[in-house]
Amino acid sequence: MTSEDFGRIWDNAISGALKKASDASGLRPSVITTQLHNKYEEFNKAHKNGGNMVDPHKPLDRHKVASCLTHAVIELHPFDVSKIMETDPIKRFRKRTVNYSAGLYSGLSVMVDMIKADAKKNNNGFRQQAFSIDLKYPTPTDENQNYIDYLIKALVRAHINKEKNITLLAHIYFFIEKYHEDAVKKELLESTNVT
């Protein structure tokens, strides 16, 4: 990905995702665009050269781009969580996992940005509109947890176990995209069938 393309993604998606993680945790990030771009390229190259691509010269799809970016943010740790002294368990979780949520939000934001750009290019008004609203997520089996927290915990476990599976996370992003699109279609159909 060129520096110009990465700069556009930074402006359209990543900076907002870092702000969202910052607002949720009360911490401030310290990451530079160039550092993140370089780390993203490391994951991109490793994924392509790791035998996971049919054609390593072909660009990654949006889900793999989002996955590489997620792992790049997590590895860079843009938020310093070393001095957190929080007694409330929910606030402590938000602060301790802020780098993982920043990675996840960055990946989701980039995926949505790429969907909207593709929809605009292909004159797909439904997808443009469907992905201009907040994403809809499945409900976890544990009703005391939300889907984003569930994914953040999974990313934490994967990082601790040194399991950075680009393809698996890309499939999760694909699932989220399809789930959201189907949920929006269902809501649209239900709203038109109201008598």
Q: If DSSP states are collapsed to H, E and C, what string results for the chain?
A: CCHHHHHHHHHHHHHHHHHHHHHHHCCCCCCCHHHHHHHHHHHHHHHHHHHHCCCCCCCCCHHHHHHHHHHHHHHHCCCCCCCCCCCCHHHHHHHHCHHHHHHHHHHHHHHHHHHHHHHHHCCCHHHHHHCCCCCCCCCCCCCCCCHHHHHHHHHHHHHHCCCCCHHHHHHHHHHHHHHHHHHHHHHHHHHHCCC
Whole-prediction pTM: 0.83
pLDDT of 159 higher than 60: yes
pLDDT of residue 135: 93
pLDDT of residue 51: 45
Of 177 and 31, more confident: 177
pLDDT in tens, 17-34: 888 888 888 788 877 788
pLDDT of residue 184: 94
pLDDT of residue 194: 62
pLDDT of 172 higher than 60: yes
- Domain ranges in the chain are 3-192
The arithmetic mean of pLDDT across residues 77-83, rounded, is 81
Of 153 and 91, more confident: 153
